[in-house]
Amino acid sequence: MKKNIHIILLGPPGCGKGTQAQKLIREFGFVQLSTGDMLRAAISKGTEIGMQAKSIIDKGELVSDEIVIGIVRDRIFSTECECGYMLDGFPRTLAQAEKLDQILSDRNQKIDVVFRLCVPDDMAIRRIAGRRFHITSGRSYNIEFNPPKIEGRDDITGEKLVQREDDKEEIVQSRLNTYHELTEPLVRYYQKQGILKAIDGTGSPENIYAEIKQTLNEVPA
């Protein structure tokens, strides 16, 4: 496997991207880059582009593609990403994907592989809408896949579990609709480049990870 590998993780909410990303981080030291985390880091560090983003967010407006791409550019070319990185939640649109390819090409770099974790909407909804959290500790459960010993109660403290507002079924469905609308053009874009690897996200996390590792081992050095 080549050392400095560049990955994009595509998949709807509830597809298991986070689980797979943590496995890759532990084994290979890849840096996971999510748009939200990168924005918060740029703002907290007080970078020029971070301050631009803060002024826009403070007004309640959406951060432009130009600013998001600027923040991504700063991070992917930083020393911390020299061993490789995974982009999670970026690019979201075809325009962002084309711009990303352009800035990588300017430095003779490219995306090596795009993993698309595929799960049907009904399973994604069950995974997300079934989540319950113990607020104080951050412990999480799923009423179907990983239920607490006593319904609605944390296993350790017995305190009440809660459902996050954006995990409610109607909101999850709206998020999935947006994902499909924005992502289908990206799927075609990366298929044409021959770097898209579709993986069945309904299997066990171990089997999914084994398939990801096998694909990474086939990336040309």
**Catalytic position from the list 99, 126, 127, 131:** 131
Give the three-class secondary structure for 62: coil
- Phi and psi at residue 67, to the nearest 5°: -70, -45
Cα diameter, the chain: 56
**Catalytic position from the list 40, 75, 92, 213:** 92
Contact assessment for residue 24 and residue 208, using Cβ atoms and an 8 Å cutoff: no
What would the two tokens of residue 194 be?
Answer: 């021959």
Question: Quick check: is 188 catalytic?
Answer: no
Closest among 40, 25, 116, 24 to 75, alpha carbons compared: 40
**Catalytic position from the list 110, 160, 164, 168:** 164
Please state, in angstroms and as integers, the Cα–Cα distance from residue 109 to each residue in 6, 30, 42, 77, 133, following that order. 9, 16, 23, 10, 41
**Catalytic position from the list 99, 116, 126, 175:** 175
Question: Quick check: is 73 catalytic?
Answer: no
Give the three-class secondary structure for 202: coil
**Catalytic position from the list 17, 126, 132, 197:** 17
Question: Quick check: is 175 catalytic?
Answer: yes
Question: Quick check: is 131 catalytic?
Answer: yes
Question: Quick check: is 192 catalytic?
Answer: no
Write the CB contacts of 216 (distance below 8 Å, at least 6 apart in sequence). Answer: 1, 5, 7, 28, 113
Known catalytic residues are: 17, 92, 131, 164, 175
